[in-house]
Amino acid sequence: MPMIQIDNVSKWYGDFQVLKNCSAKVEKGEVVVICGPSGSGKSTLLRTVNGLEDYQEGRVIVDDIDIGAPGTNLTRLRAKVGMVFQHFELFPHLTVSDNLTLAQMKVLKRSRAEAEKRGLELLARVGLEKQASKFPAQLSGGQQQRVAIARSLAMDPVCMLFDEPTSALDPEMINEVLDVMIGLAKEGMTMMVVTHEMGFARKVANRVLFMDAGEIVEQAPAEEFFTKPRSDRAQKFLAKIL
């Protein structure tokens, strides 16, 4: 079984079809990059994988759990599927340490001591062990995004979803976040990443999946996609971002 399996997923907002018969598989340990024009459905597709977005047709199966099946515990599922957003989404009124421990205690029922220990290990891993008692607003964007990644990892996810994790960052902070993601990929984390960072895609992605107007138009190894895109739509898109 693949870690993530998306089978013929379609979704509509009223008359507007935002996802058109999308299918994709991500094997355990694979990194798949999703790119495509703004409004093409990248975020919507990613959000179906952790149950943040429902759909009218098709199936999404993550680690053997059918997300759309009645009775699926979405809180448990979201703990297993880490998600990192463009705008970090840390709790502004909580310290870094409390951001890291809250869900561990609530969802995984870890003790405060256990959760704090795990939180500190992960902060060290993203290079922020000295920031535990600060509030998010006291950190740079790159630091906040690394805290957000550590917070997701604290839930021991089976896979990680990233939705444009570096597009709200100043250029000098992009690499500190990408480096953490590259490290995760090297350790074998299964990842789906919406990004236009080609360097990252070339370095770590097993495949690039190109979306346009709600469709997955092509899937190819990163080097092949960026140098020899097959579809007109991908060629047009790449001409704009390259």
CA–CA distance from 161 to each of 76, 84, 138, 220, 227 (Å)?
Answer: 16, 6, 26, 19, 25
Q: Within positions 31 to 60, which residues make up the interface with Mg ion, using CB under 5 A?
A: 43
Sign of the CA dihedral 141, 83, 148, 177?
Answer: negative
b/e map 143-163, b = 16+ CB within 10 Å = bbbbbbbbbbbbbebbbbbbb
Q: Which is nearer to Mg ion, 85 or 110 (CB)?
A: 85
State the minimum distance, in angstroms, from the CB of residue 164 to Mg ion. 6
Q: Which is nearer to ligand ADP, 122 or 234 (CB)?
A: 234
State the minimum distance, in angstroms, from the CB of residue 197 to ligand ADP. 15
> Backbone phi, then psi, for 223, in 5-degree steps?
-60, -45
State the minimum distance, in angstroms, from the CB of residue 35 to Mg ion. 11
Q: Which is nearer to Mg ion, 43 or 166 (CB)?
A: 43
Partner interacting with residue 18 (select from Mg ion, ligand ADP, none; CB below 5-8 Å by kind): ligand ADP
166 touches Mg ion by CB under 5 A: no
DSSP secondary structure letter of residue 218: E
Q: Which residues bind ligand ADP (CB under 6 A)?
A: 13, 16, 18, 36, 38-44
Partner interacting with residue 143 (select from Mg ion, ligand ADP, none; CB below 5-8 Å by kind): none
Distance CA 75, CA 233 (A): 37
Q: Which is nearer to ligand ADP, 13 or 239 (CB)?
A: 13
State the minimum distance, in angstroms, from the CB of residue 130 to ligand ADP. 35
The size of the interface with Mg ion (CB under 5 A), counted in residues, is: 1
Distance CA 234, CA 242 (A): 12
Cα 72 from chain centroid (whole Å): 21
Partner interacting with residue 38 (select from Mg ion, ligand ADP, none; CB below 5-8 Å by kind): ligand ADP
Q: Which is nearer to Mg ion, 59 or 87 (CB)?
A: 87
Partner interacting with residue 41 (select from Mg ion, ligand ADP, none; CB below 5-8 Å by kind): ligand ADP
105: closest CA among 81, 79, 129? 79
Q: Tokens 């092949």 — which residue? A: 224
| Residues making contact with Mg ion (CB under 5 A) | 43
